[in-house]
Structure 1
Amino acid sequence: MTLALVRAALACALACFAVPAAAQQMSVGTGKKPSTYTAVSVIDPITGVATTPAPAYGASGVPPVTASLTAPGNTSALPAVAGRPINVSITGTASGLSARLTRSFDGGATWLPLTVAGQPYAVWTGNISEQAWVETEAGVQFRVEVAALAAGTATIRISQ
């Protein structure tokens, strides 16, 4: 086994066995409406050193977008908050489903499919629930486009 493989295996083992050290609630905001976050540190089991806290987000203040589709179509747009994960859930009895997450940089005039390295990303053919994307630019909107739905109902939820 090469030294690189040993290092990779050790890094994986450390990541798998890192444990939460502490959780602390804090409120931040502009004074109008504070948001509550939970800061969580992780302790390295070998060194015993805690990492810098990573935020666990509270509510974004943007209501989720929901839709129940029985034919191809689009959800309404979710005005995303920059820096927060986009959550997508598709549930129901739909068969023959083809759906994808799209985004708009121009207020909804143009919708672009998500890609990574030029390849389609966030494309689904059945029920899912996942964090699909983290948008870093302000003013971007997201929606789910359903290109095909042969039978049944697709219940879709987009949130942050």
Structure 2
Amino acid sequence: MGLLKTGNVYTLGLYAMIWVLCLLVSLKGMLVQSNEKPNFGLFCPPDLYYPSEEMFCIHTSGDLGKFSRLLVNLETSGGTITLYTSFRNMPAALHCQYFQVPEPSEHTEKVQIKVQGIDAAGDKVQFASKSLTVRKKSVGTFIQSDKSIYKPGQTSEL
């Protein structure tokens, strides 16, 4: 199994997340079906770090019902960022996309990722919302020497 690289961090958990999403979508008979809202699955990590890129995945059934578009928005104190738009009659698909993590207003900020539909009148209907935490990356230095304990007068090699 390959590894996905995000910056300098290798993420194996994303593959597991995608497989779980595929498994859930394959169990269509078990999912609640409704004419009022389309079927979809959305996966995004709960903690986001600024500055970096992060990935979310959404699977749509293709049929949006009475809605012309399906939107995935990230709502922050600085405004709303549209991450994804699915249009009526698009084929069912798993779509994964990278996005830039927005800068938090403080060291940490709670943001909302929302899935919304746009109906024929242009009104937004919210289907799901999840709270995420955006954190600023902290910078630190780790120094390791060749010994754990030194006696007075000994020198260290780094």
| TM norm structure 1 | 0.36
Q: Which entry has the higher C-alpha Rg, 1 or 2?
A: 2
Structure with greater contact order relative to length (CA < 8 Å, sep ≥ 6): 1
| TM norm structure 2 | 0.36
